[in-house]
Amino acid sequence: MTQNQQIDMPLAETAGTRFLSQLAPGMSAVVVQLRAKGAIRQRLLEMGFIRGATLKVEKLAPMGDPMELVLKGYHLSLRRDEGACILVQPLAPSLG
């Protein structure tokens, strides 16, 4: 990984959690835990990646990096290696 120094800690005990970088376009999820430290952690928190925040993966760039997300009503692009520091709980797709 580049600047994304991960913290070695056990994964959250919630079944079905995965890293944001593993989500496909159209999937929604709730932020469970940030596994980054230092400046990257602070930057992610400032962007709104706080526990309980809901996000949606809008689309991926042609080579899969970066990914476009909708978080707190705004669109942002995030590199997949940054998304590998964010543990999320995928939400069931809504019908309708």
CATH code of residue 29: 2.30.30.90
d(CA 80, CA 48): 17
For residue 31, give both structure tokens: 């932020």
pLDDT digits (tens, 9 = 90+) for 2-59: 444 444 444 444 578 999 999 999 999 999 999 989 999 999 999 999 999 999 999 9
Measured in whole angstroms, the distance separating CA 73 from the mean position of its chain's CA atoms is: 15
Residue 79 lies in a domain: yes
Residue 58 lies in a domain: yes
DSSP-derived letter for residue 20 is G
CA-CA-CA-CA torsion sign (23, 68, 29, 43): positive
Residue 3 lies in a domain: no
Residue 11 lies in a domain: no
Question: Residues 59, 25: contact at Cβ < 8 Å?
Answer: yes
For residue 68, what are the domain limits? 18-90
Domain count, the chain: 1
Residue 39 lies in a domain: yes
pLDDT digits (tens, 9 = 90+) for 55-90: 999 999 988 889 999 999 999 999 989 999 999 999
Residue 4 lies in a domain: no
